[in-house]
Amino acid sequence: MEAWKQFELDCTDHLNQVFGYKAQFIHQGFEDSTVADIKCVTKSGKTFYLEAKQCPAQCNQFVLLPDVATQTFEYSKQNSLPINDYSKKIINHMNNDFEDFKEAGTSGKDIIFDNCEDVFFDWVKKAYEKKDVEYFITNNYRIFKLNEIADNFNITAKYRVKRSGSTHVGSARMNGVKKYIADNFGITDTRTDGKKLFARTNRDIDKVRFNYDIYEYMFSKRGNEFEIRQLSNTFNANVIFSVSIKYPGTDMGSKFADVLI
């Protein structure tokens, strides 16, 4: 298991061990970037979310589409967060150096301009607000509020090409994929949750990929079972934000219990 995944699980365990008398913490992260890493449900029924970041780490992203004809970048309509003033400032800077950014490739090109860190933090905060994230938990289980992100992290941004994310199998391909993994992996112990497909096996198949029909799929470990995820066929050019821990910071870990009401 990758270190960042283990960190999410470790943070969830830590929160339950230290603050479990006031709330339940439920892990729900890994590859699913549409949800926050950890869900908190207090004894009174209040719900909020935490994001776990083992620094240095990536910290959100958005897709840009280069338009060679106009020599400009277009903010993809597929981004989960609508375009805002912060992404516009980033795009305006990149448009002024269109040719170099367009050729960034998989190695990427750093995005640097006056006061860019403030712009990056503002965009990241908007992205996490959309997922109802209120707190971060990071190295050494430091906990801080979302609006204190600049006090605890350094931030950079880079434009580079990377493969886009994964999605669930979907009902239309469910039966075909189930038959394929039964015929090729000997897996018959499966269950479905909406459009998601899960399988149980004693074999170590975490991150194992296979092709069925026109799509590529991958087994992703989820506790004591595996979710089958459909991988994207496209490679997108992304503005990717990365953070590193800042020492000292504003750790509110000892006071975190006070917010669990």
Q: Is 104 helix (H, G, I), strand (E, B) or coil?
A: coil
List C-alpha distances in Å: 160 to 17, 113, 128, 182, 248.
Answer: 39, 17, 22, 38, 31
pTM for this entry: 0.73
- Averaged pLDDT score across all residues of the chain: 91
pLDDT of 177: 93
Q: Residue 189 has which token pair?
A: 């112990």
Percent of the chain exceeding pLDDT 90 equals: 66
pLDDT of residue 165 exceeding 80: no
Using pLDDT thresholds of 50, 70 and 90, give the confidence band for residue 12: very high
- Rounded to 5°, angle at Cα 244 from 240 and 248: 150
Please name the amino acid found at residue 207.
Answer: K
Q: 78-92, 115-129, 210-224: lowest mean pLDDT where? A: 210-224
pLDDT tens digits, one per residue of 54-106: 999 999 999 998 888 899 999 998 888 999 999 999 999 999 999 999 888 88
| Highest mean pLDDT: which range of 43-52, 64-73, 163-172, 227-236 | 43-52
Is the per-residue pLDDT at 194 higher than 90?
no
Alpha helices (runs of H) in the chain, residue ranges in sequence order: 3-19, 85-95, 98-102, 116-130, 149-152, 174-185
